[in-house]
Amino acid sequence: MRRGVFILALLISYSIAYGQDPNVWKTLSKVEIKTKFNESLGFHVEYPIFSDEIKALDGKEITLSGFMMPLAELRGENYFVLSLLPFNNCFFCGGAGPETVMEVFSKKQIDFTEKKIKVKGKLTINPDDPMRLMYILKEAVLVD
């Protein structure tokens, strides 16, 4: 009996502590990729077609966990890419799709770590600009 109550309490505290986190990446994976010719670039480019679930998150505050990929030299010290997977398995290394990464612009600098982190911020979806990732998290802060 006590063991069952302990397990139930553990499950409840896990769901409170991690909130929407496990489901956000799953929701963000509900995207199709279509190839279209881009007139200004002069070649075919892959564009995301977002599900209604993803569109409902656009402009909303979300919380999710992932691994940092520092790219400060590109956009400044408050910028990095967050990957669902560790760097050696991430999209850029061929282990996953573009829906497993997002650009992060933090309110203040978040020091690089190889450990998994949790961030909270405002999600912006990017259906048009092939020079950016399809997901962008703005005003991000580190969550304990």
What whole-number distance in Å separates Cα of residue 15 and Cα of residue 42? 48
Residue 1 resides in a domain: no
Residue 15 resides in a domain: no
Would you state the pLDDT for residue 34?
A: 93
Residue 76 resides in a domain: yes
Count of the separate structural domains present in the chain:
1
Report whether pLDDT(65) > 90.
yes
What is the rounded (10 degree) CA torsion for 62, 82, 139, 54? Answer: -40
Residue 13 resides in a domain: no
Residues of the domain holding 39 = 20-143
Would you state the pLDDT for residue 119?
A: 97
- Token reading at 68: 């940092």
Residue 12 resides in a domain: no
Residue 3 resides in a domain: no
CATH number at residue 71: 2.40.50
What whole-number distance in Å separates Cα of residue 103 and Cα of residue 116? 16
- Please state, in angstroms and as integers, the Cα–Cα distance from residue 89 to each residue in 76, 93, 94, following that order: 25, 6, 7
> pLDDT for 79-123, tens place per residue?
999 999 886 545 555 567 789 999 999 999 888 888 999 999 999
Residue 130 resides in a domain: yes
> pLDDT for 7-35, tens place per residue?
333 333 333 334 445 589 999 999 999 99
Would you state the pLDDT for residue 107?
A: 95
Residue 99 resides in a domain: yes
pLDDT band at 77 (very low <50, low <70, confident <90, very high): confident
Q: pLDDT: is 5 or 41 the higher one? A: 41
Would you state the pLDDT for residue 124?
A: 98
